Amino acid sequence: MGAVRMRVQTTDKNNTIIHKMSSSSSLPVAAVCQMTATPDKEANFSTCTRLVEQAREGGACMVFLPEGFDYIGSNREETLQLSESLDGDIISRYSHLARKLDVWLSLGGFHERGHDWKTDRRIYNSHIILNGQGELVSVYRKAHLFDVELTSKGVSLKESAFTVPGPRLVAPVQTPIGKVGLGVCYDLRFPELSSALRRHGAEILTYPSAFTVATGTAHWEVLLRARAIETQCFVLAAAQVGAHHAKRTSYGHALAVDPWGEVTGDCGGSDEGLTLVQIDLQRLRDVRRDMPVQQHRRDQDFYCSLD
């Protein structure tokens, strides 16, 4: 079942909630973070730097930040105006941070100016992986855009109004905690994506997110646990929490889930913070050996036989 059994909640001098794992094991540790981004990019960077430093002090070799870690704009024009390219200031600063602390970073949901920015002023929602030398090793651009009108829930978002959907999946990335498959937020609702990443060797799936309160309350945990159970992967989902500005609030509950579907870390629904979780790949291998779901899967023609 893995070596981790007890969580200890502490706070640092900034009252950041830290869920620590007590263990003497040498298993690799991941930090799943939760924050409240605003349109203030400098304040957001300070928050993320503090979280990454705390995670490193807690023994994490890879730190996961949520969608919109760079900022969450209050309107379309502000969102576009604050965006940057991959070689801009924000990613350069995170590269320096990763190199200084010798830690891998999952930067989920960076507002990346699109390839045709000068003509169409649209962006990608990009999940970036930096290694411990600060090098960019992978970029996945979110494929499924959140265009939803939930009138009864007071939710109205049209991501495609300013975002370009990504053209393809990217192969899972070998990291110090295992092979990480990349998604972003709304991608969580599409099991075809997680299944494809699993077929290509993913051991950890990650969905950095900014779920609304309405959808998070109803669907967040059950979707994350479902993706873990059906793929027999660890699932790590950093999250936004609280009020970003007058128009938008996020659900929180950054989660870690093991390959059996058990929640092993939860940052709660109110505070910025992080949870430290050990990644026991032997646990993953045991689950897959005892219930060999992938071996029982039929070929693609079978699943298309109703078409």
What are the residue numbers of the active site?
A: 67, 142, 185
Neighbours of 158 (CB within 10 A): 13
Q: How far apart are CA 268 and CA 251, in angstroms?
A: 9
The dihedral over CA atoms of 278, 281, 286, 292, expressed in degrees to the nearest 10, equals: 120
Q: Can you name the residues that pair with 234 across neighbouring β-strands?
A: 204
Question: Which single residue is written with the structure tokens 């494929």?
Answer: 143
DSSP E strand boundaries for the chain: 6-11, 17-22, 29-35, 62-65, 104-113, 123-130, 136-141, 147-150, 155-158, 173-175, 178-182, 204-206, 234-237, 239-245, 248-251, 255-257, 263-266, 273-278
